[in-house]
Structure 1
Amino acid sequence: MQQAVYDAIVIGAGPAGASCAVWLAHMGFSPLIIESSGRAGGLSASNPFEDTWNVTAPGLTGEEVAARIKQSLDSARVPVLLNSLVTRIERGDTPDGTGREVFKVFFGADLPLHARFVVIASGVEPRTPPDWERDHYDDVLVGPGKHVANYEFALKNVAVLGGGDNAFENALFLKERGAKSVHIYARTLRCQRHWMKFLNESDVTTGAYTFDPETRQVNGRPYDAVVVLYGFRARLQGMEDLGLDCNELGYIRTDFQTTQTNLPGIYAIGEVTHRQHPCVVTSMADGVVAAKAIQKELEKDGA
């Protein structure tokens, strides 16, 4: 049986990827999403807290926003392959033998899927120290999310590593959860200034520090638990050999008007590009920009 050629394969079912795919579907094209996790929604799917920054979803938690994203995909009848990790992307000819060039996207199946365009919306993952020998240490929590929300912090001495908004917001959350003490260690402060008024100066240490994850000691001081919030890094597994142009932080560079990468036919949107302030709303906007750019190319070719 002849394989289908999708108009676009979108890698990632977060706000950016879902937005792009839904717009393409409503414009009469055939998108397909490949998602490495078991559910749509991206980072929102692991956020049990109210998403107060999303003006389109007042009162909803990140998990509820993710459920709405799934509803939108279902309503637009966008096919989504869950638990599917992209392993590589190649250029090749269409399976119908016409000689038209397409992209072949491999994700562990015997045969690749084919598409006219590829949209990378794979998002980000929490950044860990590069010198860690393994990914897990007892009572060391990396990145924000449900694992932090479900942890029992009551009567514990806790260190928070990081100088961004996430570090300070989580420090306040830990205090509300009954932690005996919370101390922030930040090499530099990148947070919004208003966070500082909620903490005592003695709760924050700035400058270089040492951290031993095995003993949970920071500057030689032991803690019952440590929360590591070093920000995020782009998720580009399976795309390392494409030749994507990335900036010094590892995010994909794109054309601002179209979201196209340095590789013709491959677009990148959302937090994997860090094009603008990363959040649900700007990611959704990125998806629309990519969808309209792809629409223009498809209609130009008479698709």
Structure 2
Amino acid sequence: MQQAVYDAIVIGAGPAGASCAVWLAHMGFSPLIIESSGRAGGLSASNPFEDTWNVTAPGLTGEEVAARIKLSLDSARVPVLLNSHVTRIEREAAQQGGQEHFKVYFGADLPLHARYVVIASGVEPRRPPEWEREAYDDVLVGPGKHVANYEFALKDVAILGGGDNAFENALFLKERGAKSVHIYARTLRCQRHWMKFLNESDITTGAYTFDPETRQVNGRSYDAVLVLYGFRARLQGMQDLGLDCNELGYVRTDFATTQTNLPGIYAIGEVTHRQHPCVVTSMADGVVAAKAIQKQLEQGDA
């Protein structure tokens, strides 16, 4: 029995991957999405707060945006394999007049086949390398639902990180009744307007020490510590492909097409660290990739 070959396999069902797959489907092609989590939406699916930056969804939380993404995928009849982790990708040479394609392994006995691959695997919170795989009580890594569900009332809390997330969460914790909130940042990368909401005494800049077991920062003990060191590209199962990545580990792509250094493999959304990464720019990336793949597919049929 001949193995079905999809026009494109998209790795990741976040805003970028979903946008690409939906556009391909509406243009008459056959995409399939492989998603490592149990639902579509990417990071939005774990964001219980209103996404005020998304002008297409006023008043909606990240979770509600994720639900809309799933609805779009369902309406376009895009097949999505949830809880599926890509383990490797291989290029399959053309045989007997056929076209070269890719084999994508994701834990099943047999791989899936596709003419093109789109990496839309997104990002994950960056952890300190010295405790990469460890978990500590009352030490929360990254933003998301686990922060929203945590009880901060009457607690002394430290936030590690100097970006927008650190300052936005500091205000959130104060609203949730935290006794004190102190930000430790080696450098400040946040938008300037956040500074007016906090006292200078609430911010320490420069080098600091942190012991996750005792929750001590610079020798001071805290009831809880929120670690917001930014994000890193999620490329599990793709490390051996030979992708050209920048010094921070994000995939380099051609701006006009989103193609990587590997012909036939595209990368979109936050895994590429596009300028101003967010839901809206990720969706735009998906459109660029879909149109580039459309051009290649139609040239091949000519």
Interval containing the TM-score (normalised by the shorter chain):
over 0.9
Consecutive unaligned residues in structure 2, runs of 5 or more? none
Whole-angstrom CA distance in 1 between matches of 2:11 and 2:105: 11
- Among all aligned residue pairs of Structure 1 and Structure 2, give the percentage whose two residues are the same amino acid: 91
Match of 1:133 in 2: 132
> What is the CA–CA distance in structure 1 between the aligned matches of 2:108 and 2:301, rounded to whole Å?
31
Q: Tell me by how many angstroms 1:275 deviates.
A: 1.6
Counterparts of 2:269 and 2:95, CA distance in 1: 31
1:93 deviates by 4.0
Equivalent residue of 1:138, what SS? Answer: coil
- Per-residue Cα deviation, 1:10-63 (whole angstroms, up to 9, x for no partner): 000000000000000000000000000000000000000000000000000000
Q: How far apart, in 2, do the equivalents of 1:91 and 1:214 lie?
A: 45
Give the distance between the partners of 1:275 and 1:14, measured in 2 at CA: 15
Find the residue that maps to 1:184 and give its secondary structure. strand
TM-score (norm 1): 0.98
Cα distance in 1 for residues equivalent to 2:138 and 2:193: 29
Give 3-state SS (helix, strand or coil) of 1:283's partner: helix
Counterparts of 1:46 and 1:2, CA distance in 2:
39
Displacement after TM superposition at 1:94 (Å):
6.3
Q: How many residues in Structure 1 have an aligned counterpart in Structure 2?
A: 302
**CA deviation vs aligned residue, 1:206-248 (integer Å, no higher than 9, x gap):** 0000000000000000000000000000000000000000000
For 1:162 and 1:237, the matched residues in 2 are separated by 25
Distance 1:96 1:121, change over 3 A: farther
Task: Check 1:94–1:69 CA distance in 2 against 1; reply closer, same or farther (3 A cut).
Answer: farther
CA contact (8 A) 1:103 1:115 kept: yes
How far did residue 160 of structure 1 move? 0.2
Deviations 1:247-288 (A, max 9, x none): 000000000000000000000000000122110000000000
Aligned to 1:160: 159
> Which SS does the other structure have where 2:129 is aligned?
coil
The two structures, once aligned, show a CA RMSD in angstroms of: 1.2
CA distance in 1, matches of 2:218, 2:116: 50
- Report which stretch shifted further, 126-135 or 107-116: 126-135
Segments of 4+ moved more than 2 angstroms: 93-97
SS in 1 for 2:52: coil
Secondary structure at 2:301 match in 1: coil
- Seen in structure 2, the aligned counterparts of structure 1 residues 133 and 273 have a Cα distance that, compared at 3 Å, is closer
CA contact (8 A) 1:2 1:95 kept: no
The 1:273–1:83 alpha-carbon spacing in structure 2 relative to 1, beyond 3 Å, is same
Report the CA distance between 1:100 and its aligned residue: 2.2
Preserved contact between residue 3 and residue 95 of structure 1 (Cα < 8 Å) = no
Further displaced range: 129-138 or 64-73: 129-138
Q: Relative to 1, partners in 2 of residues 1:64 and 1:293: Cα closer, same or farther, differing over 3 Å?
A: same
Q: For the structure 1 residues 19 and 76, does the alpha-carbon distance in structure 2 shift closer, same or farther, using more than 3 Å as the test?
A: same
1:135-157 deviation digits (Å, cap 9, x = unpaired): 31000000000000000000000
Deviations 1:151-174 (A, max 9, x none): 000000000000000000000000
Distance 2:200 2:244 in 1: 41
CA–CA distance in structure 2, aligned partners of residues 241 and 280 of structure 1: 28
1:66-100 per-residue CA deviation (whole Å, 9 max, x = no partner) reads: 00000000000000000000000001146998x42
Query: CA contact under 8 A between 1:120 and 1:266: conserved in structure 2?
Result: yes
Distance 2:267 2:222 in 1: 41
- State how far apart, in whole Å, the 2-side matches of 1:224 and 1:39 are: 32
Structure 2 length as normaliser, TM-score? 0.98
Structure 1 unaligned blocks of 5 or more: none
Task: Report the Cα distance in structure 2 between the residues aligned to 1:104 and 1:75, rounded to whole angstroms.
Answer: 27
Give the conservation status (yes or no) of the 8 Å contact 1:118–1:266.
yes
Q: Which moved more, 1:277-286 or 1:134-143?
A: 134-143
Task: Kindly indicate whether the alpha-carbon contact (under 8 Å) linking 1:17 and 1:121 is maintained by their aligned counterparts in 2.
Answer: yes
**Matches of 2:232 and 2:40, distance apart in 1:** 20
SS of 1:240's equivalent?
Answer: coil
1:134 deviation in Å?
A: 3.6
Give yes or no for contact 1:9–1:118 (8 Å, CA) kept in 2: yes
